[in-house]
Amino acid sequence: MTDVASLRPLFAVLVSAVAIPIILSLRSRPNVREGVTLAVAATKFGLVASMVPGVLAGTTYVTRIGEFGNGISLALRADPLGILFALLASLLWIVTSFYSIGYMRGLSEHAQTRYFASFAASLACAVGVAFGANLVTLFVFYELLTVSTYPLVTHDETDEARAAGRKYLTYTFGGGVAVLGGTALVYVLTGTTAFTPGGIEALATADPTLARAAFALLAGGFGVKAALMPVHSWLPDAMVAPTPVSGLLHAVAVVKSGIFGIARVVLDVFGTETMAELGVALPLAAVAAITLLTASVIALRQDNLKRRLAYSTISQLSYIVLGLALLEGDALIGGLLHIPAHAFMKLTLFFCAGAIHVETHTDDISDMAGIGDRMPLTMAAFAVAAAGMAGIPLVAGFVSKWYIVIGALQGGGLVFAAALLISGVLNIAYFWPVVYQAYFESPEGHDEKPLLSAPLGGRSGPRADGGGETEAYGDASAAETHDDAHGAETHEDGHDVESRDDGHRGHHGGPPASGWDVRGWRGAESTWFMLGPILTAASLSVLLGVVPRTAVFLRIVETVVGSLPGVVV
Amino acid sequence: MIEHLIVLLVVLPILGAAVPPLASLRYDRVGWAVATATTLGHAAFAAALAWTVWTDGTVRYAVGGFAAPYGIELVADGLTILLVALVSAVSLGVLAYARHAGPHANTFYSQFLLLVAGLSGMTVTGDVFNLYVFLEITGLAAYGLVASGPGARSAVAALKYLVIGTIGASLYLLGVGYALAATGTLNMADLSVKLAEVGYDSTLVLTAFGLIVAGLTVKVALFPLHTWQPDAYADSLDSVSAFISALVSTVSAYALARVLFSVFTVDFLEAVPTARWALVGVACVSIVAGSGLAVAQSDVRRMLAYSSVSQFGLVIAGFAIATPLAVVGATVHLVGHAVMKGGLFAVTGIIERRTGATTVGGYAGMGGRVPVAAGVFTLLALAMVGVPPAIGFVGKWYIVLGAVDAGVWPVVVVLLASTLLTLAYFARLGERLYFAEPTITSGSTAATDGGESVSTGMIVTVVVAAVLAVALTAAVPVIDQLIDQTVFELIRQ
Amino acid sequence: MTLDLLTTHYNYYAVALLLGIGLYTVIESPNLVKKVIGMNVFQTGIFLFFITLAFRNGGNPPVITEGAGPYVSPLPHVLILTAIVVGVSLTAVALALVVRVYSEYGTLDEDTLEQLYHD
Q: For B378-412, what is each residue's pLDDT tens digit?
A: 999 999 998 888 898 988 989 998 898 888 888 89
Q: Has residue A412 been placed in a domain? A: yes
User: What is the pLDDT at residue B214?
Assistant: 94
User: What is the pLDDT at residue A484?
Assistant: 41
- pLDDT averaged over every residue in chain B: 88
Give the domain extent around A310: 301-451+498-569
Quick one: CA dihedral B272, B274, B280, B286, positive or negative?
A: negative
Which alpha helices (H) appear in A239-280, and where do they start and end? Answer: 243-248, 254-264, 271-278
The C-alpha atoms of residue B150 and residue B236 are separated, in whole angstroms, by 8
**Domain total of chain A:** 1
Phi and psi of B70, rounded to 5°?
-85, -40
The band of B149, judged by pLDDT with boundaries at 50, 70 and 90, is: confident
Any chain B CB within 8 A of the CB of C101? Answer: yes
Chains linked to A by 3 or more Cβ pairs within 8 Å: B
The C-alpha atoms of residue A141 and residue C25 are separated, in whole angstroms, by 55
Q: Is A63 helix (H, G, I), strand (E, B) or coil?
A: strand
Residues near A75 by beta carbon (within 8 Å), at least 6 away in sequence? A62, A63, A64, A65, A133, A134, A137
Any chain B CB within 8 A of the CB of A207? Answer: no
Give the domain extent around B414: 287-493
- Residue by residue, DSSP assigns B431-491 as HHHHHS--SS-GGGTTTTTT-----HHHHHHHHHHHHHHHHGGGGHHHHHHHIIIIIGGGS
Contact criterion met (CB < 8 Å) for B167 and C23: yes
Q: Has residue A177 been placed in a domain? A: no
The band of C85, judged by pLDDT with boundaries at 50, 70 and 90, is: very high
**Partner-chain residue, chosen from B139, B140, B170, that has the shortest CB–CB distance to C46:** B170
Asked if omega into B224 is within 30° of 0 (cis), the reply is yes
Q: Which residue has the higher pLDDT, B436 or B35?
A: B35
User: What is the pLDDT at residue A450?
Assistant: 59
Q: In B, which residues are within 8 Å of A234 by CB distance?
A: none
pLDDT per residue as tens digits for the range B406-435: 888 888 999 888 888 898 889 888 888 888
Q: Has residue B94 been placed in a domain? A: no
Q: Has residue B196 been placed in a domain? A: no
Domain borders along chain C are: 2-118
Q: How far from A492 is each of A26, A478, A488, C55, CA to CA, in Å? A: 57, 18, 11, 105
Neighbours of C99 (CB within 10 A): 12
CA distance A144 to chain B (A): 7
User: What is the pLDDT at residue B251?
Assistant: 95
The C-alpha atoms of residue C53 and residue C46 are separated, in whole angstroms, by 10
Q: How far from B493 is each of B264, B323, B488, CA to CA, in Å? A: 15, 7, 9
User: What is the pLDDT at residue A69?
Assistant: 67
What is the number of helices (H) and of strands (E) in chain A?
25, 3
Task: Please report which helix (H) or strand (E) contains residue B73, including its range.
Answer: strand B73-76
**Partner-chain residue, chosen from A74, A162, A176, that has the shortest CB–CB distance to B431:** A162
User: What is the pLDDT at residue A469?
Assistant: 41
The C-alpha atoms of residue A311 and residue A242 are separated, in whole angstroms, by 17
User: What is the pLDDT at residue A549?
Assistant: 78
Contact criterion met (CB < 8 Å) for C94 and B173: no
Q: Contact A86/A135 with Cβ under 8 angstroms?
A: no
- Mean local confidence (pLDDT), C38-50: 93
The C-alpha atoms of residue B131 and residue B176 are separated, in whole angstroms, by 10
The C-alpha atoms of residue B261 and residue B486 are separated, in whole angstroms, by 12
User: What is the pLDDT at residue A275?
Assistant: 85
User: What is the pLDDT at residue C84?
Assistant: 93
- Rounded to the nearest angstrom, the gap between the alpha carbon of residue B266 and the centroid of all alpha carbons in its chain is 23
Q: Is 70 exceeded by the pLDDT of residue C2?
A: no
pTM score, two decimals? 0.87
User: What is the pLDDT at residue B318?
Assistant: 92
Residues near B182 by beta carbon (within 8 Å), at least 6 away in sequence? B194, B195, B198, B202, B204, B205, B208
Contact criterion met (CB < 8 Å) for B435 and A143: no
CA distance B130 to chain C (A): 9
Q: Has residue A431 been placed in a domain? A: yes
* Closest of B117, B121, B118 to residue B76, by C-alpha: B121
Contact criterion met (CB < 8 Å) for B181 and C101: no
Pairing of strands A72-78, A2-5: unpaired
pLDDT per residue as tens digits for the range B181-233: 899 889 998 998 999 898 888 888 999 999 999 999 999 999 888 888 898 89
Residues near B475 by beta carbon (within 8 Å), at least 6 away in sequence? none
Q: Identify residue B28 by its one-letter amino acid code.
A: D
Q: Has residue A490 been placed in a domain? A: no
Please list the ranges in chain A whose pLDDT falls under 50.
460-507
Chains A and C touch (3+ CB pairs under 8 A): no
Q: Has residue A27 been placed in a domain? A: no
Contact criterion met (CB < 8 Å) for A184 and B436: no
User: What is the pLDDT at residue B468?
Assistant: 92
Phi and psi of A283, rounded to 5°?
-55, -40
Q: Is 60 exceeded by the pLDDT of residue B296?
A: yes
Q: Has residue A223 been placed in a domain? A: no
Residues near B443 by beta carbon (within 8 Å), at least 6 away in sequence? none
Residues near A418 by beta carbon (within 8 Å), at least 6 away in sequence? none
Contact criterion met (CB < 8 Å) for B388 and A165: no
Q: Has residue A429 been placed in a domain? A: yes
The C-alpha atoms of residue B36 and residue A257 are separated, in whole angstroms, by 50
Contact criterion met (CB < 8 Å) for A177 and B419: yes
The CB-based long-range contact list for B152-157 (8 Å cut-off, 24+ gap) reads B152/C100, B152/C101, B152/C103, B152/C104, B152/C105, B153/B235, B153/C117, B154/B235, B154/B236, B154/B237, B155/C97, B155/C100, B155/C101, B155/C104, B156/B231, B156/B235, B156/C97, B156/C101, B156/C113, B157/B231, B157/B232, B157/B234, B157/B235, B157/B236
Contact criterion met (CB < 8 Å) for B156 and C113: yes
Q: Which chain B residue shows the shortest CA-CA distance from A157?
A: B435
Contact criterion met (CB < 8 Å) for A180 and B479: no
Q: In B, which residues are within 8 Å of C46 by CB distance?
A: 170, 173-174, 177
**Partner-chain residue, chosen from B417, B423, B473, that has the shortest CB–CB distance to A169:** B423
Any chain A CB within 8 A of the CB of B419? Answer: yes
Q: What fold, for C2-118? A: Helix Hairpins (1.10.287)
Q: Has residue A539 been placed in a domain? A: yes
**Domain total of chain B:** 1
Q: How far from A70 is each of B245, B270, B318, CA to CA, in Å? A: 30, 24, 17
